[in-house]
Amino acid sequence: MNLRTLYLPHRLSEIFWREDESHPLVADIQRLLAKHGLYTATIHSIYDAVTRDAVSQFQEAEGLPPTGSVDPLTYCRLHPAALSQIETRQPTQRAKTSVARANILITKSSRTLTLFNGNSPIRQFPVAIGKPATPTPAGNYAIASKITNPGGVLGTRWMGLNYDAYGIHGTNRPWLIGKMVSNGCIRMHNHHAEDLFVLINLGCPVYIRD
């Protein structure tokens, strides 16, 4: 499998301009478009109609929606990337039955969820937890509900706690795993949430510690 590695000179959060807006990065965009043979006008720092049209042509050539706006994906596609080949591995077989004495320990300080069988740890996963304004509540709880494919911000699995509206779930923002970003719920990578889902039953104890 080919891996495309890209080292960007700017943060993606800086990539947004309105038409006729001036920004130093616009000149970089124009140079990149010129390398693709799509921009032949003077290099300047104004996101004008000519630049927007060239962006739209580039997006169409790349199979992207031709909006004419430089979104993060368009910006990444414009930049050259290093290609490397990695060996693909067969996915490990997912467990099909629950753990007999399953219990969960969520440690907020290390952003980890550990699954135990009795007193023996058997799996550990990185998680995202509540931000300082809406912290994940420490305490002793239990799994009260399990839902497959709830979708959206909940990802592919939901395991609700018997406390308020808190739960353990997947995510549609995997790059935030390991951070304090949620409204108090515990977020996991979707494939990790799917693994955990089949290993626990309703009533599984959940211990949340600082």
185 labelled catalytic? yes
Question: Using CA atoms, how far apart are residues 130 and 134, in angstroms rounded to an integer?
Answer: 6
> Bridge-partner residues for 93, per DSSP?
none
Using the Cα atoms of residue 140, residue 144, residue 145 and residue 151 in order, give the sign of their dihedral: negative
Active-site position among 185, 189, 192, 204: 185
What single-letter DSSP state applies at residue 45?
A: S
Helix (H, G, I), strand (E, B) or coil at 108: coil
Q: Which DSSP string corresponds to 106-174?
A: EETTTTEEEEEETTEEEEEEE-BEE-TTSPPPPEEEEEEEEEE---GGGTTEEEEESSTT-EEE--S-G
Which one is catalytic: 36, 76, 169, 204?
A: 169
Mapping DSSP to helix (H, G, I), strand (E, B) and coil, where does residue 70 land?
A: coil
Cα Rg for the chain, rounded, in angstroms? 23
**Amino acid type, 5:** T
Does 76 qualify as catalytic in the annotation? no
Residues with a known catalytic role: 169, 185
